[in-house]
Chain A
Amino acid sequence: MQTALAPEPAPRHSRVVRFWRDYGWAYLFILAPVLLFLIFTLYPVLTALVMSFQKYNIMNSTWVGLDNYERLVKDETFWKSIKNTVIFTVGTVPVNILITFVLSYFIFQMKSKWQTFFKATLYLPAVASGVTISIVWLAIFDPTDSGLLNRFLGFFGLDPVIWLGQSGTALFSLILMNWLGSHGAGIILYLAAMGGIPKSLYEAADIDHASGWTQFSRITWPLLKPTTLYLLVTGVITSFQVFISVYLMTQGGPNFATTTIAYLIYETAFKFYEFGLASAQSFVLAVIIIVISVIQFKYFSSDIEY
C-alpha cells in the first residue's frame, strides 16, 4: 500500500523541474524587457483607458462615464486639431514618398561611389534632433528679410512672407519644412529593394521591347510595394504624432491654425491639467492611427506579389 503511494509526487515534481530546465533561460532572457514593458507600457495604456472615463486632475479623480468623449465630440478645437493633423499628414507623407522614390530611382542609376555619397548627404539631417532642426527652420522662416526663405523670395522681387505668424501659411510652412527635410532612411530602403529586383525580369522585358514606362509600371513599382507600404505606415504614424516643430515654432497658433492632435493632448494634460480629457483625446488618436494602418496593410497587401 505504502509502496503504491510513494511514486505519486515524483512525476509532478520532475515535470516542473524539467519545464524550468528546458525553458527557464528563455524566460530569464525576456524577463527584464517584459517587466519594463508591463510597468511602463501596458500598465499606462490600461490606466489611460480608465482615466479617459474619469474627471482626473492633480488632486482627485471622479468617475464620469462617457463625459470626456462627449466633450470631445462637441469641442471645436479638437475637430480643428484632427483636421490640421490630417492636412499635415496628407500634405507630407505621399509627397515625401514620391520625393524619396524619385531620388532613389536616380541614385540607383549611379556608380556605387556616388550612391554612397548621395545616401550620406541626403541622410545627414536625420541625425540632428527635432529640436535643432526646428530651431534652424525657425530662423529660415524669419518674417523679416533676415530669413533665408524671404531672402530667396527677394531674389525674385517678391515681398517677405510672415510664414509662421499667419493662419494661412503657418501649417504650410511646417509641411514645407518636412518636404525639404531628410529622406535618407527611405532612400536607403528603396535602394536596397531596387537592388533586390532580379535583373532577369528587365532583360526579359527588353527582349519583348517593353517601353520604359511598362517596365516601371509592371516590374519596378509592384516589386517595391512592400517598401512603399512600410514607408507609408511609418510615415502616417509619425505624422499623426507631430509635436516638436509645432511646440517650438508655432505653439499651435496662430488661432489654432497649427494645433495638431498631439499638441492639443499636451496642452490639455500639462497646461490645463485635464488628464481625463487628454486621455480620451489620446485614445481617439490611437484608434485613428490603428485604423488607418490596418486599412493600409489590407489595401497594399492584397496584391503584393513575390
Chain B
Amino acid sequence: MKSTRKKMLLVTASVLLAGWALITIIPMYWMLVGSVQDTTMSASFKPQMIPEQLSMSPYERFFAKTDAWRWLYNSLLISVILTVTNVFFASLAGYAFAKLKFPGSQAVFWVLLGTMMIPAQVTLIPLYILMVNVFDLGDTYTAIILPAAVSVGNIFLMKQFMSTLPTSLIHAARIDACSEFGIFWKVILPMAKPGIAVLAIFTFVASWNEFFWPFLITNSNEMRTVQVGLASFVFAESTDFGAMMAGATIGALPMIILFFSLQRYFLQGITIGAVKG
C-alpha cells in the first residue's frame, strides 16, 4: 500500500513538474525561436512555435537600427568593474564583521542591514540630484558604478560565509606575525573561494540585468547599457516582433550561457546567506 502510494506520488510529481518546467521555459523558447523568423516577409506571417524557415534578418535589423555593440560593451565593462569592487570590498567588510572584534561593529552592521528595508525609490531621487546637479556626473560610467560599487546584501552574504570559516587558522596565522591584511590575503581569501565565486556570479548577473539606475542616469545613446537600450528600442520599434525578440535574446543570452556554464554555483549559491545564521 505504501509502495503504491509512493509510486503514485512520484508519477504525479513527474507529470506536474514536467508540465510546470515547460510553462516556465516557454517564454525563453518563444524569445529564441521568435528571433530567427522574419515576420516582415509578409503582412500575414505569424511566428511559429516550430519555424518553417530560419532567418537572421531580425538580428541584422536590430544591429542596424541600434548601437547594440556599444551597449554590450558598456554593460560588460560596468558589470566587470562592479563584480571586482563588490568582491573585494564585501569580502574585506564581511571578514571584519565576522571575525574581527572592534568597537561599534554590531551597531554599524545593523545600521547597514536596516537600510536594506528602505526601498530604492527613497534614495534614487536625491541620488540622481547628487550625481547630476552636485557632482555633474550625469551620463558617465562613474555615475552608474559608484552607488553600486559594494552592496549591503553582498556584505551580509560574505559575513554569513566568513562566519563558517575556522577561527583557529586565523589565530595560527596571527601567531606567525602576519599582518591583518596578510591574514586576509593569504588565509581568508583562499578559504573563501566558494563564497566569493557565488558572490561574483550573482553580482555579475545583477549588474548585467540592472535597469532602473542606468536608465535614470544616462541620456545619450552611447552611454546606455544593453537593458536600457533594449527598453528604448521597444518603444521605438514596437511593431517589429522579430527584431524585438532578437534584442531580448541578445540581452539575455550572455547570462543564460553563464548559467549553463556555472550551474552548480547558481544552484548552491542561493542557500548561502539566506538560510544559514
In the complex, A34 Cα to B211 Cα: how many Å?
Answer: 25
Within 8 Å CB of A266, what residues of B?
121
In the complex, A261 Cα to B121 Cα: how many Å?
Answer: 9
Within 8 Å CB of B93, what residues of A?
29-30, 32-34
Within 8 Å CB of B125, what residues of A?
44, 48, 51, 265, 269, 275, 278-279, 282
- Shortest A71–chain B CB gap in Å is 16
Known interface pairs A119-B267, A122-B20, A122-B24; A285-B119 also in contact (CB < 8 Å): yes
Task: Report B252-277 residues with CB < 8 Å from chain A CB.
Answer: 252, 255-256, 258-259, 263, 266-267, 270-271, 274-275
Q: Is the CB of B27 within 8 A of A192?
A: no
Within 8 Å CB of B17, what residues of A?
103, 106-107, 110, 118
Q: Is the CB of A40 within 8 A of B146?
A: yes
Q: Is the CB of B24 within 8 A of A180?
A: yes
Within 8 Å CB of A182, what residues of B?
24
In the complex, A62 Cα to B241 Cα: how many Å?
Answer: 48
Within 8 Å CB of A210, what residues of B?
none
* B230 at the A interface (CB under 8 A): yes
* A253 at the B interface (CB under 8 A): no
Q: From A5-13, A19-27, A167-175, give the one contacting chain B.
A: A19-27
Q: Is the CB of B150 within 8 A of A41?
A: no
Bin the interface of chain A by size: 35 or more
- Shortest A5–chain B CB gap in Å is 31
Within 8 Å CB of B252, what residues of A?
127-129, 132
Task: Report A123-160 residues with CB < 8 Å from chain B CB.
Answer: 123-125, 127-133, 135-140, 142, 145-146, 148
Q: From A197-205, A239-247, A298-306, give the one contacting chain B.
A: A239-247
Q: A120: nearest residue on chain B (CB-CB)?
A: B263
Within 8 Å CB of A122, what residues of B?
20-21, 24
Q: Is the CB of A51 within 8 A of B47?
A: no
* A79 at the B interface (CB under 8 A): no
Q: Is the CB of B270 within 8 A of A43?
A: no
* A17 at the B interface (CB under 8 A): no
* B103 at the A interface (CB under 8 A): yes
* B13 at the A interface (CB under 8 A): yes
- Shortest A81–chain B CB gap in Å is 12
- Shortest B146–chain A CB gap in Å is 7
Could you say which of A48, A128, A192, A248 has the most chain B C-beta atoms within 10 Å of its C-beta?
A128
Within 8 Å CB of B97, what residues of A?
30
Q: Is the CB of B122 within 8 A of A45?
A: yes
Known interface pairs A106-B12, A132-B31, A148-B30; A29-B119 also in contact (CB < 8 Å): no
* A64 at the B interface (CB under 8 A): no
* B54 at the A interface (CB under 8 A): no
Known interface pairs A192-B271, A248-B234; A30-B266 also in contact (CB < 8 Å): no
Task: Report A169-199 residues with CB < 8 Å from chain B CB.
Answer: 180-183, 185, 188-189, 192-193, 196
Q: Is the CB of B10 within 8 A of A109?
A: yes
Q: A129: nearest residue on chain B (CB-CB)?
A: B209
In the complex, A37 Cα to B127 Cα: how many Å?
Answer: 12
In the complex, A56 Cα to B123 Cα: how many Å?
Answer: 15
Within 8 Å CB of B122, what residues of A?
44-45, 48, 279, 282-283, 285-286
Within 8 Å CB of B46, what residues of A?
145-146
* A77 at the B interface (CB under 8 A): no
Known interface pairs A120-B267, A127-B259; A135-B24 also in contact (CB < 8 Å): no
Task: Report B142-160 residues with CB < 8 Å from chain A CB.
Answer: 146-147, 149-150, 152, 155
* B172 at the A interface (CB under 8 A): no
* A82 at the B interface (CB under 8 A): no
In the complex, A247 Cα to B235 Cα: how many Å?
Answer: 10
In the complex, A23 Cα to B108 Cα: how many Å?
Answer: 14
In the complex, A99 Cα to B255 Cα: how many Å?
Answer: 25
Q: Is the CB of A139 within 8 A of B208?
A: no
Known interface pairs A122-B21, A128-B209; A26-B119 also in contact (CB < 8 Å): no
- Binary flags per residue of B220-242, CB closer than 8 Å to A gives 1, else 0: 00000001001100100000010
Give which listed residue, A106, A124, A241, A290, contacts B16 with CB less than 8 A.
A106
* A47 at the B interface (CB under 8 A): yes
Could you say which of B16, B115, B150 has the most chain A C-beta atoms within 10 Å of its C-beta?
B150
Q: Is the CB of A45 within 8 A of B255?
A: no
Within 8 Å CB of A136, what residues of B?
27-28, 30-31, 245, 248
Q: Is the CB of B267 within 8 A of A286?
A: no
Question: Contact residues of A with B, CB < 8 Å?
Answer: 22-23, 25-27, 29-30, 32-34, 36-37, 40-45, 47-48, 51, 99, 102-103, 106-107, 109-110, 116, 118-125, 127-133, 135-140, 142, 145-146, 148, 180-183, 185, 188-189, 192-193, 196, 226-227, 230, 237, 240-241, 243-244, 247-248, 261-262, 265-266, 269-270, 275, 278-279, 281-283, 285-286, 289-290, 293
Question: Contact residues of B with A, CB < 8 Å?
Answer: 9-10, 12-14, 16-17, 20-21, 23-28, 30-31, 34, 46-47, 89-90, 92-93, 95-97, 100-103, 105, 108, 112, 115, 117-130, 146-147, 149-150, 152, 155, 179-181, 184, 205, 208-212, 216, 227, 230-231, 234, 241, 244-245, 247-249, 251-252, 255-256, 258-259, 263, 266-267, 270-271, 274-275
- 7 A-B pairs whose Cβ atoms sit less than 8 Å apart in the complex: A30-B108, A32-B89, A33-B112, A103-B16, A106-B12, A181-B24, A290-B118
